[in-house]
Amino acid sequence: VVIHNQTGFLAPEKEVDALVEHLEWLVMNPTGWRKMLDTGRNHIDKNYCAKMQGVKLANSYSELVKPCKKIAS
């Protein structure tokens, strides 16, 4: 869900210094923080809403049954 440096920050597991660095950036860059927040919200709304998930699931099922349709023909 997180796109590093676009919708948020990722830090390696157990690397506290990396986490602190990201938090410091957020505190020192309120405009960048707001942009990242808005970008993240838009990304979630666009890619993870229930309607979009339903479309993706339907497409996946359609792809799965295509080989079966060819065999049945």
- Per-residue pLDDT band at 67 (split at 50, 70, 90): confident
Which one is predicted more confidently, 19 or 70? 19
Q: What is the pLDDT of residues 13-66, one digit of tens each?
A: 999 999 999 999 999 999 999 999 999 999 998 888 888 889 889 999 999 888
List the structure tokens of 72. Answer: 């049945």
Close Cβ partners of 27 (under 8 Å, ≥ 6 residues apart): none
What pLDDT does residue 13 have?
Answer: 95
| Three-state SS letters, the chain | CCCECCCECCCCCCCHHHHHHHHHHHHHCHHHHHHHHHHHHHHHHHHCCHHHHHHHHHHHHHHHHHHHHHHHC
pTM (global) more than 0.75? no
> What pLDDT was estimated at residue 65?
87
d(CA 34, CA 20) in angstroms, rounded, equals 18
